[in-house]
């Protein structure tokens, strides 16, 4: 069995009493009459790392149920007593908050749906944000993931992509994960229906008109729903940015940063309003293919600075591992086969071959959009634009969980520090949903989602993969 397959098996064993050992690994039971409860989890003498507090040495963290109830220096334990409960010796190890993937599609490809919860956890991803799926497909999956004692990350979801008169993901050339919003009234009704259906936020897509966009934004505010969004093709990023909580993939920012922005936008609007539209997907693809590289080539630094100044309140989720796929294909990484081994055999066979769209000869690859994406993230950092970590799993060779660690690597490659990359995968997602009082840092009163690492991620972001164990919803999930 490969390493990741073993991880998933151990996750199942961890929460099934019949196969859980009395003393798994370095976890021991201590029934002395000391502080704490026998059911507490105590991680002692550990180096704590989160994006708010930085690096804290020799800490002890006590977990009771799904809550962190104490965080203190090891030396400050009352009367130097060992707390009761399950004690984990954290000496030489590093404790970080549970990681998020801010951009996943749980029901996009049913070959992955059942595997996702366990695979995410095996890689330390304890929360996910589903950014597009039909309610009839999503709700059984969400219910299963949120069931009491479910072995699953926390999940937050938007329901379908809210598209325009034409729908990109309409179930024909692409999977059905989008829905039509042909006018203002339909848009408002869709938002109300989604609110009643229990969504945590809404997702606006690229073919909505400016009028429909305004209606969606207004109704979302009435319904107290955060907004994730692509930049609608009718509009400029600088106009959209201050009205939504996150923008995805850096898409369409290149047009607003172009010296030819007005000319390109006028041409785009003409394409959007033609009577000869084959499909939403074909329309969007033709616009991107005809304008993206031209816009990148004509980038105007002064204009771009003005655009980014209007995005400082909007979290950008650049999905660099996808945008820069040609620069660093996952199948060229040394750990790819190991990670791929946990997927279904059909997926292993399909994804073990080099992607036909990326020439094997590096010199033949078109890296213009990849390099632009990395450079744009650096510009955003310098401009104070917040960045969130998401992958678009399972689209574009994205193995659940594994791809988030690839995203962290690419964020660092773009210019983020390792601590900023951790912030993108911990604090930013919680801020978007308004739950930063519950998740994102290792503090008293926060939910008990934690990852124990054997190597320091601040020295090398790739060390986020050196997972000793995961605590998800207050339960230990062994990794090795």
Question: For 167-179, how does the pLDDT look when each residue is reduced to its tens digit (9 = 90+)?
Answer: 999 999 899 999 9
**What is the rounded CA–CA span in Å between residue 166 and residue 281?**
9
**Average pLDDT of the chain to the nearest whole number:** 91
- SS3 state of residue 310: coil
Neighbours of 412 (CB within 10 A): 18
What pLDDT, on a 0 to 100 scale, did the predictor assign at position 18?
A: 33
Whether the per-residue pLDDT at 304 is higher than 80: the answer is yes
Length of the chain in terms of residues written: 480
What pLDDT, on a 0 to 100 scale, did the predictor assign at position 227?
A: 98
Beta strands 227-229 and 178-179 are: unpaired
Tell me the sheet residues that pair with 176: 170
What pLDDT, on a 0 to 100 scale, did the predictor assign at position 356?
A: 81
Could you tell me the pLDDT band of residue 9, with boundaries at 50, 70 and 90?
Answer: very low
Residue pLDDT, tens place only, 63-113:
999 999 999 996 655 444 456 789 999 999 999 999 999 999 999 999 999
Query: What does the pLDDT average to over 35-48?
Result: 86
Query: What does the pLDDT average to over 38-57?
Result: 95
Distances (CA, A) of 87 to 33, 39, 450, 474: 14, 10, 15, 14
Q: What angle do CA 405, 115, 98 make, to 5 degrees?
A: 40
Query: Worst-scoring range by mean pLDDT, 14-28, 40-54, 124-138, 327-341?
Result: 14-28
DSSP H or E run through 147: none
State the CATH architecture for 99-433: Alpha-Beta Barrel (3.20)
Whether the per-residue pLDDT at 19 is higher than 70: the answer is no
What pLDDT, on a 0 to 100 scale, did the predictor assign at position 463?
A: 98
| pLDDT over 70 percentage in the chain | 89
Residue pLDDT, tens place only, 390-435:
999 999 999 999 999 999 999 999 999 999 999 999 999 999 999 9
Q: Identify the CATH assignment for 3-96+441-478 out of 2.60.120.260, 3.90.1530.10, 2.30.40.10, 3.20.20.80.
A: 2.30.40.10
**What is the rounded CA–CA span in Å between residue 64 and residue 35?**
12
β strands within 74-201, DSSP E: 85-89, 94-97, 99-104, 125-130, 154-157, 161-162, 178-179
Domain residue ranges of the chain, discontinuous segments joined by +: 3-96+441-478, 99-433
What pLDDT, on a 0 to 100 scale, did the predictor assign at position 11?
A: 46
Whether the per-residue pLDDT at 441 is higher than 50: the answer is yes
What pLDDT, on a 0 to 100 scale, did the predictor assign at position 353?
A: 81
Whether the per-residue pLDDT at 153 is higher than 60: the answer is yes
Contact 321, 425 (CB under 8 A): no
What pLDDT, on a 0 to 100 scale, did the predictor assign at position 276?
A: 82
């Amino acid at each position: 069995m490969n390493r990741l397959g073993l991880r998933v098996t151990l996750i199942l064993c961890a929460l099934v009493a019949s196969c859980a050992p009395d003393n798994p690994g370095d976890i021991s039971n201590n029934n002395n009459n000391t502080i704490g409860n026998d059911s507490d989890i105590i991680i002692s003498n550990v180096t704590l790392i989160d994006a708010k507090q930085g690096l804290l040495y020799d800490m002890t963290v006590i977990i009771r149920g799904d809550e962190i109830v104490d965080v203190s220096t090891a030396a400050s334990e009352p009367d130097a007593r060992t707390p009761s409960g399950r004690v984990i010796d954290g000496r030489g190890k590093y404790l970080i908050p549970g990681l998020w993937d801010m951009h996943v599609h749980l029901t996009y490809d049913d070959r992955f749906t059942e595997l996702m919860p366990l695979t995410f956890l095996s890689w330390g991803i304890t929360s996910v944000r589903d950014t597009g799926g039909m309610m009839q497909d999503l709700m059984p999956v969400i219910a299963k993931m949120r069931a009491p004692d479910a072995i699953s990350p926390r999940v937050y979801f938007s329901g379908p992509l809210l598209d325009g008169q034409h729908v990109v993901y309409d179930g024909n050339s692409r999977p059905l994960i989008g829905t039509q919003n042909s006018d203002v009234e339909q848009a408002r009704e869709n938002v109300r229906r989604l609110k009643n259906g229990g969504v945590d936020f809404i997702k606006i897509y690229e073919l909505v008109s400016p009028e429909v966009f305004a209606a969606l934004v207004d109704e979302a505010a009435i319904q107290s729903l955060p907004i994730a969004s692509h930049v609608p093709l009718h509009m400029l990023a600088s106009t959209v940015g201050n009205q939504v909580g996150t923008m995805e993939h850096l898409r369409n920012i290149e047009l607003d940063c172009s010296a030819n922005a007005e000319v390109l936008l006028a041409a785009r609007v003409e394409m959007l309003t033609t009577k000869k539209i084959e499909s939403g997907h074909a329309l969007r693809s033709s616009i991107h293919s005809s304008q993206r590289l031209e816009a990148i080539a004509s980038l105007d630094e002064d204009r771009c600075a003005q655009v980014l100044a209007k995005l400082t309140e909007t979290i950008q989720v650049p999905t660099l591992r996808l945008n820069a796929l040609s620069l660093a294909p996952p199948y060229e990484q040394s750990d790819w086969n190991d990670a791929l081994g946990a997927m279904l055999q059909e997926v292993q066979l399909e994804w073990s071959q080099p992607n036909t769209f990326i020439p094997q000869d590096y010199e033949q690859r078109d890296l213009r959009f990849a390099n632009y994406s990395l450079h744009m993230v650096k510009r955003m950092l310098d401009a104070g634009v917040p960045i969130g970590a998401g992958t678009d799993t399972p689209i574009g060779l994205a193995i659940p969980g594994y791809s988030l660690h690839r995203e962290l690597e690419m964020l660092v490659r773009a210019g983020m520090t390792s601590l900023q990359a951790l912030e993108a995968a911990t604090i930013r997602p919680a801020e978007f949903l308004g739950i930063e009082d519950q998740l994102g840092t290792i503090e008293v009163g926060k939910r008990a989602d934690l990852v124990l690492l054997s190597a320091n991620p601040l020295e090398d972001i790739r060390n986020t993969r050196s997972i000793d164990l995961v605590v998800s919803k207050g339960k230990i999930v062994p990794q090795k």
